[in-house]
Amino acid sequence: MLEIKNLHASIDGKDILKGINLTVKAGEVHAIMGPNGSGKSTLAQVLAGREEYEVTEGEVLFNGKNLLEMAPEDRAREGVFLAFQYPIEIPGVSNVNLLKTALNEIRKYRNEEPLDSMDFLNMIKSKMSLVDMPNDLMQRSVNEGFSGGEKKRNEIFQMAVLNPALGILDETDSGLDIDALRIVANGVTKLRSPENAFVVVTHYQRLLNYIVPDYVHVLFNGRIIKSGDKSLALELEEKGYDWVKEHITEFVGQ
């Protein structure tokens, strides 16, 4: 589904991603871990099409299409969804409105009829129960005045509604209390199917108890320096990044 080959990206002339290689197949969950500032959000934003980042080298294929050539909205319409690490507040635009417009733009792109109001509302209701989304948050302006945890929950709720092929979750777990973490993570697990895939950026192993990854990658200084299965996350939690840093000297030395 997603093939990232030797991806280099910079912002304001500063190189952040320095050769990322990653292949994600349908049905898989990939966790990306790594210290602060290592480039995890940069990778997520570059995949979603944030224009401020300049891709200096490499390519990204999404279902065989050149993702980097697409406008951000077309990536969304092709099925890429980014749950933001820091969701944006949009005063004056209600959550319901955002979703309705987004859905219909996506449907239009796929030559589908707009959803009628009843179908839309029914669908929204079922997705709300999936992540236990309070009703009043629906009518409020997008993320405006939401608590940190509510914003994160809202991201996952939006993802549930838009039903993307590839969900990229950038630290969705941080800011969630223990119960919310369980609810949101179980919601994601329910969304898993053989047709879709998830890239989950996190600092904590506890999320991965719920969303069990097929692969775990360690991103350090703009490169994936180690990949493994879910046990790598446990190992990291135990040994910390110092252990990885030892590894990197080895890696760079190669």
Partner 1 sequence: MDKHKELKELFNKGFTSLENRLNGGTKGELHTYRKDALKRFNELRFPTIKDEEWKYTNISPVIAKYFKPSADSAVIADAKGVDRFFINRNDFIHLVFVNGRFSDELSFGWKETEGFTVTNLKTAIKDKPEIVSGYIGKNAVIEDNIFTALSSAFIEDGTFIYVNKNTVVEKPVHIFYVTNSNEEIMNAPRNLFIAGANSQIKVIESYEALSSAAYFTNVVTEIFLEEGAVVEHIKIQDEALGAYHIARTEVSQKKASNYLSYNVDFGGSIVRNNLHTRFDESGAENNLRGLYLTSGSQLVDNHTRIDHAMPHCLSHELYKGVLNDSSRAVFNGKVMVRKDAQKTNAFQENKNLLLSEDALVNTKPQLEIFADDVKCTHGATVGQLSKDSLFYLKSRGFSHDTAMRVLIYAFASDVVHAIDIPEIRDYLEKKIAEKLATGLEN
Instruction: Please report whether residue 76 would count as binding partner 1 according to CB under 8 A.
Output: yes
**Nearest in space to 98 (alpha carbons), one of 143, 38, 67:** 143
Burial of residue 254, with CB atoms counted within 10 A of its CB: 0-12 exposed, 13-18 middle, 19 or more buried = exposed
Residue 37 C-beta: closest distance to Mg ion, Å: 8
Q: What are the distances in angstroms from CA 200 to CA 30, 57, 170, 215?
A: 6, 24, 6, 10
Instruction: Please report whether residue 246 would count as binding partner 1 according to CB under 8 A.
Output: no
Q: If contact means CB under 5 to 8 A according to the sort of partner, which of ligand ATP, partner 1, Mg ion, none does residue 77 touch? A: partner 1
Give the count of alpha carbons within 13 A of 118, CB side only. 0
Backbone φ and ψ of 34, nearest 5° = 155, 155
Pairwise CA distance, residues 155 & 175, whole Å: 13
Instruction: Please report whether residue 14 would count as binding ligand ATP according to CB under 6 A.
Output: yes
Cβ distance 65 to 27 under 8 Å?
A: no
**In this chain, which stretch among 9-17, 66-74, 121-129, 131-139 interacts with ligand ATP, using CB under 6 A?**
9-17
**CB-CB neighbours of 206 under 10 Å:** 15
Instruction: Please report whether residue 158 would count as binding ligand ATP according to CB under 6 A.
Output: no
**In this chain, which stretch among 23-31, 40-48, 146-154, 187-195 interacts with ligand ATP, using CB under 6 A?**
40-48
Instruction: Please report whether residue 98 would count as binding partner 1 according to CB under 8 A.
Output: yes
**In this chain, which stretch among 95-103, 115-123, 216-224, 232-240 interacts with partner 1, using CB under 8 A?**
95-103
Instruction: Please report whether residue 41 would count as binding Mg ion according to CB under 5 A.
Output: yes
**Across the chain, which distance is largest between two alpha carbons, in Å?**
61
Residues that bind partner 1 (CB under 8 A): 48-52, 71-73, 75-77, 81-82, 84, 87-88, 90-93, 97-98, 101-103, 105-106, 109, 141, 158, 162
